[in-house]
Amino acid sequence: MSEFDLQDFLFDLRGYLILEKAIDQTLLAELNGAFDTFPDLQFGEWWGNTQRLDNNGHAGLELQNVVEAGKPFETLIDHPSWVDRLQRYCGEDGSWVEGLYIDECFASVRRSGGYFPLHSGGQDGVIRNQYGFANGKFHCGQVNILLALTDIGPGDGGTRIVPGSHKSNIAHPVFSQPFAERVKAEDEVVEGSIEVNMKAGDALMFVDALSHGATKRTNAGDRRVVIYRYGPIWGNTRYGYDYSPELLARVTPAQRKILQPITRRAPGTARGLDRHAAE
Ligand SMILES: O=C(O)CCC(=O)C(=O)O
């Protein structure tokens, strides 16, 4: 019998999965409640150990290092709806460098007019976000959880993906135009892409090498999502945020291992490598 399930097959084939009802209604309400308390920040402004740092001026507000914005965001670190699958997809499962790491985590609020041009794809060959499968195991560089906190239907500014593009050898022709130009456009709907519609509480899991972006939001109101990007323990944080000692002390040992998989080593550190601690 194969050790792989249908979801594994689909993830390999398409580069993404939809996890329906990934979180329960209580956590969904808590996360939305937390979004309601976000202050009106300017670009670059800090709020505690989070910072507003929008990726581009068109996609909407992005609050980086959002795991520092309260307990509901901590619950997402190793949520049972995704943690085991992530471990198999991008956690170097069963190897000597086994384990997960969070590369980037942020909240995103998209209002009317916001969109995100398509980017990424297997043709880039970038190791950091690559799709990989070798020796009967997944070896992805980065797999993302994009958790919907509001229903995302037509006109809501949903994520746009090109299924299968994590294995592309050839760049989509849309990439012949520079990103900086495309970001100024009103919208971008490219051949071969689909818009992902989800219910609040569903999550899109996708390898970052999949070409992705977002459709323009035309409806009133907010599209709210949380994005956590995971990779192997040897990765490094995208923007260099440090976690506060309070957060590291508060989370569970399993969560702390994901936030800080490699224990800091100062002079006087007593013993050898953590991975051999049991030996
Ligand atoms: O906001 C989205 O739906 C897509 C976000 C995205 O493309 C990204 O963060 O790289």
Give the CATH number, domain containing residue 213.
2.60.120.620
- Asked if the structure places residue 110 within a domain, the reply is yes
Residue with CA closest to ligand 1 atom 8: 213
- Asked if the structure places residue 268 within a domain, the reply is no
- Asked if the structure places residue 120 within a domain, the reply is yes
Report pLDDT digits (tens) over 140-173.
Answer: 999 999 999 999 999 999 999 999 999 999 999 9
Question: Region 224-246: what's the mean pLDDT?
Answer: 95
- Residue 106 CA to ligand 1 centre (angstroms): 11
Q: Which residues pair with 109 in a beta bridge?
A: 61, 224
Taking the CA of residue 196 as reference, the ligand 1 atom at the shortest distance is 3
Q: Is 116 in the pocket of ligand 1 (CB under 6 A)?
A: yes
- Asked if the structure places residue 266 within a domain, the reply is no
- Asked if the structure places residue 174 within a domain, the reply is yes
Does residue 275 have a pLDDT over 60?
Answer: no
Taking the CA of residue 160 as reference, the ligand 1 atom at the shortest distance is 3
- Asked if the structure places residue 274 within a domain, the reply is no
Per the structure, the count of domains in the chain is 1
Q: Is 165 in the pocket of ligand 1 (CB under 6 A)?
A: no
- Asked if the structure places residue 278 within a domain, the reply is no
- Residue 6 CA to ligand 1 centre (angstroms): 26
CA 159, CA 181: separation in Å to the nearest integer? 20
- Asked if the structure places residue 141 within a domain, the reply is yes
Q: Is 162 in the pocket of ligand 1 (CB under 6 A)?
A: no
State which residues form the domain around 211.
Answer: 6-260
Order of strands across the sheet that contains 223-232: 16-19, 203-207, 143-148, 223-232, 100-110, 61-64, 50-52, 46-47
pLDDT-based confidence at residue 57 (cuts at 50, 70, 90): confident
